Chains A and B, each alone.
Chain A
């Protein structure tokens, strides 16, 4: 209220000047606010809604978005997996269409069915993606898994020993990858996997998603022949109308065209995971021939590889009823037997999928499709049209448990970051130590030196001050490299000393402090001296309180400096055990954008608190230059 005169306030030009200023200030203010609002809002999101940038996440208020996010999570954030289960072909999760929810009876039946499925017929909702499971935030199951394994072995070291892995800490342990829906996946059932499968058996049913195998067939056709259904019909002699309606033949399609049979055989042999492929008794002789070949006609070699089997000749060995899960040798045999044309005859192969099991189970329970339709309110034409209502049940679950799921989603990114920043490694602890040490050192060394210079009237006061300040004239670049080498030679790299010592004394702060001490009324000192106060008392009781605002300002600067130090913390302490929070934040490239945003929000809290509480200190500690 200075440049625009008070008198002319109502004039046209003053008014327009004010309007202009407000427009500028508000426009600028919005650009100040928006990035933070995006950051905060997105920190509550997941991949599905991360790119919509609404300022209040839609799923806070909208059930549909919440359901979609729930399905995204249940599909392990994997669109291919979703497409398999939902029998759809969407390019991204956000394009999914929600089916109507399943009825209560259907949900109950479905759960009974899922509970009875073998362990390799379902995938848990937190198998982790192909990369680190932290990418999408830590699902509660992962936390429970860690706790369960820890409870079993009592220490990280014994887990490490048992599993033969290197674990920095418990947070480094994540559930093994489960890809029962992929042909390439042939896990070794070692201790880690066995423990996980035992843990999996105890999981609530909503954490298990049945593997969808019959979607492999339309996908396979699409990959090989393109998205044009007419081409497929011409080539294979089929009468498909759309990809959604393509059913996978579970047995060798005897009636179909030769091309179709070839395509089916190739799909079974190369694309369907071996767990779901069975061979009927017509393959028995081929099985024996295969084993003879493999074990060079020597039954003793076979028995050595399969110590639990008793057989006199190869002819005694029966076809496995299920794909062996724990025996890698048998697994390899089955893989080769069903995978190759010269081994198992194509006509003997059939599929035992989760879908077909559901179909059979339901038909056994209700007898006819019309009975099923009556109970569920569905419109199945025949048994072949029945598929496990996995997605429908998810929709129901998401609606009934909306509150719980929402809370979980709101807090997940933050919990993941806390798990990583605070628990995993020592970055939080390191940062606190670093800040405390910096504060302690700067707030003692500088004031006492300034005090000595101001009070003790040494002959060389000026020279000393000059000595302390003269290096300001030289560029930091030159000293930076030798400083690093010096710390290296002193063996101080990767210690707190490397971070604290070099910046301990600051000539400029000493100069400012000394100036302030000089300016304090001398009577105070004289009075204190008369009272017989010691130098320490004078310093602590008289001098320091008088420059408190500036000390507070210095402390604040030191805090901010230490908290936000990056480049030097990076180079002086490359050892992961010594990383500070800022280095950790920079190294977080494993995380998805929402998790990073959550980390940035959390990392801003200490500084936010300091600024809010220290507003006055900042304003009072400002030193202004005036010409002499």
Chain B
């Protein structure tokens, strides 16, 4: 029937024209949805309002041409929340599409990079494109164009993968390739008296970095920046190591391989870049590197100094990287940076007169290898509507077509940006007169970089690879002298962890051990929970017994009563009991949003119990709880006591202390984040400087970040927290104190014998509540640091949250929730028991 309709439609003239026009792109559907309107949301579609940047302008032009060809297809840009602590800026897209998938607002056309591809495919988030690809291949000229679009087998390996159904499918279309190269600023090198070319070897590279770097005030020139492990990849590959390796070529099984001797050499080199000591000679201003263990050093011109002396003269420096958070590369104050060259736009909008491009320096092995990547286009697997699927395909097919490339080329050339284009396109689209604008070596460098490049890791869970590598790198970065044996040890731990976390490779013996431990723990806690539940029932059954039970209630009245209570009972049943029971099930499953969930037994529990980061998070939670209680619990009590005591001004002071509660918690946190500006211009740092206290790094300080996170909460809750104690204190009859006074009781004995006993129920309830709350709390941390720096503020609540909502590991996160609950069970029992023993009354205070 549909085919018949299609026939009918195709004979209509309008449709015929449409097809004729679309024919220049093989495999592009002639018309979607029979010409009826259909909207698709597209990831990374520029909101064209400020497309002053030439790349964005070209994208807009391509989108406009698409809309001209498909007037019935509306393109909507995808916008999403910025997730706190989603990792480095460039990694944000790794989590936001996943979160959008979970939240049901994911775009129809997705951008998937290599490292993300596996988690998307595995969870069924991508639509298999086999039929579309077949149509493309079978269209006249299609085969040739397909071969041009996906030129290497390496790319096919990424685009064509085994799906959740166990069969091979094509999932992604890579319209543009990226090859990582080394860029260098000619002026920075020139100013340091260096030749304007990229170093060929690591030694030369490091030496150049040392020569250009001058972190002294007023200068602020740096060599290279390793902000995260992503910038380490070329070093590891050029050292001859690997990051993730397939068991055999084409295999779906991957393992982490950056723990070998070659990787150690790479890490040691990277350490030199971020931490290696070097000197600006106080006598002759000569820059030179020194050994980490040296005591007495001599500059090439023969001036000798002791290291301590250099330190006091502020002539000893560590590393050639700018301070965190400063983008010296775009400010033109950094000599080298690694950036992508794309097949279209050779080196981004950079000026070839200012910036040169070269292959990354070769390691000791003579290998120069960096990253190959692509923003692959894919279609959301949750789309049900065929018209939407077709429209999405038409869009990604159009985006990857020669026509789109021609448009882009035209926009670049017209805008005077011909020199940034790949000469191949200039030739192809007849702009030969611009060929001599492009630095002649760029094309060759791009080809070579492409040839030697390693695809970014794309195995199982590879989107977490940089996060996992960061954990090892953070430790290596902190070393004072990276001895080979120590680095190797740290790396092998890190690699083992990565293998376990990402790839899930756990030896069977270990698996058994974990399962057994987990089983015991689960059974124990089940028993405890059961006992507790029964205990609670009994306890409350007693406590809640209402004295004036009437014997019998009329049936009609009963019915009315149930009707009245139905919403509350229903809501509790649906949103409390059901999730609870379901949560008990999910904890034993590998729960997946779209695909069926597998039963895992106690595996999740085992994995949680044996995960170091869970126990680290537990430890952080403990620190958090102790600090929060220690700083925050007693302060309101003391404040209330003082307010009760002072003869005048109590109301005024109360209002001032109450100020923080006139705003919301999140505003408090955001406000303090601004006050915590770690630069010397921050409010608090300026205040500290005025008091002659050294400036602080606040939330970026791994040692003290937790304290800084807690302070705003404590600060904000002192006043409001004291109100209830004040109310309670007012309930204490003055006669008690007077009587005590007559008996000769002093300050402390009155406190001990009258006030504290009177406040006891309140103190106990608040203390237990605050303790439980402190263990579960994660919002302040999530907002203020997202778990950083160096994962030093990750608490269990945050770990649960991140695993569930950012990585979509629901089963694992739920198991973690159960374990946390089991550990807190003592508190909970006590709380419930105590609550049943007290009664609540309105305070009737003024």
Contacts and interface: CB of A to CB of B under 8 A. Distances in A.
A462 B544 contact: yes
A190 B421 CA distance: 23
B294 interface: no
A493 interface: yes
B589 to A, nearest CB: 11
A62 interface: no
A518 B545 CA distance: 12
A475 B727 contact: no
B718 to A, nearest CB: 7
A591 to B, nearest CB: 11
Given A32-B719, A51-B681, A481 B817 contact: yes
B45 A621 contact: no
Contact of B683 (A38, A448, A470): A38
B60 to A, nearest CB: 7
Interface in A198-255: 223-224, 226
Interface stretch (A136-144, A346-354, A602-610): A602-610
A116 interface: no
B305 interface: no
Is the contact region of chain A dominated by helix, strand, or loop, or is it mixed?
helix
B568 A35 contact: no
A582 B664 contact: yes
Interface residues of A, number: 150
Q: Give chain B's interface residue range (CB within 8 Å of chain A).
A: 35 or more
Contact of B47 (A17, A166, A474, A627): A166
B642 A39 contact: no
B549 A457 contact: yes
A542 interface: no
A500 to B, nearest CB: 10
B569 interface: yes
B313 interface: no
Q: Give the one of B50, B760, B837 with max A CB within 10 A.
A: B50
A18 interface: yes
Interface string A19-33: 001101110110111
A17 B647 CA distance: 12
A560 B52 contact: no
Nearest to A610: B662
A448 B565 CA distance: 7
B674 A331 contact: no
Interface stretch (B16-24, B102-110, B119-127, B448-456): B102-110
Contacts of B76: 166
Interface stretch (A70-78, A308-316, A402-410, A483-491): A483-491
Nearest to A623: B840
Interface in A450-506: 451-453, 456-459, 461-462, 464-486, 488, 491, 493-494, 501-505
B248 to A, nearest CB: 38
Interface in A513-551: 515-516, 518, 522, 535, 549-550
A522 B548 CA distance: 10
Given A177-B52, A456-B561, A574-B105, A501 B571 contact: yes
Given A478-B818, A624-B728, A473 B533 contact: yes
Contacts, number: 418
Nearest to A573: B103
Interface stretch (A280-288, A358-366, A391-399, A561-569): A561-569
A278 interface: no
B641 A505 contact: no
A626 B832 CA distance: 15
A620 B844 CA distance: 5
Given A1-B645, A575-B103, A625-B840, A166 B805 contact: no
Contacts of B670: 585-586, 596, 600
Interface string A154-189: 000000000111110000111011010000111110
A477 B820 contact: yes
A79 interface: no
Given A29-B653, A165-B49, A622-B724, A5 B741 contact: yes
A512 interface: yes
B663 A53 contact: no
Contacts of A414: none
A53 B737 contact: no
Contacts of B572: 467-468, 471, 505, 507
Nearest to B578: A486
Contacts of A563: 664
A151 interface: no
Interface stretch (B165-173, B372-380, B412-420, B702-710): B412-420
Interface stretch (B79-87, B489-497, B613-621): B79-87
A535 B560 contact: yes
Nearest to B353: A270
A482 B581 CA distance: 9
A510 interface: yes
Contacts of A535: 560
A3 B751 contact: yes
Given A21-B642, A604-B662, A467 B569 contact: yes
A570 interface: yes
Nearest to B104: A493
B810 interface: yes
A95 interface: no
A626 B732 CA distance: 12
A6 B750 CA distance: 13
A354 to B, nearest CB: 22
B433 interface: yes
Contacts of A628: 837-839
A315 to B, nearest CB: 20
Given A3-B641, A166-B75, A185-B52, 15 more contacts: A31-B715, A32-B718, A35-B672, A445-B568, A449-B564, A468-B569, A481-B810, A485-B586, A501-B571, A505-B571, A522-B548, A574-B80, A621-B842, A624-B762, A624-B840
Q: Which 7 pairs across A and B sit closest by C-beta, in order of nearness?
A: A477-B817, A564-B664, A475-B821, A165-B48, A604-B663, A482-B579, A505-B568
19 contacts: A3-B641, A22-B649, A28-B639, A28-B657, A32-B657, A32-B718, A35-B675, A172-B47, A185-B52, A466-B544, A479-B579, A480-B579, A480-B800, A505-B572, A600-B670, A608-B663, A611-B661, A625-B761, A628-B838
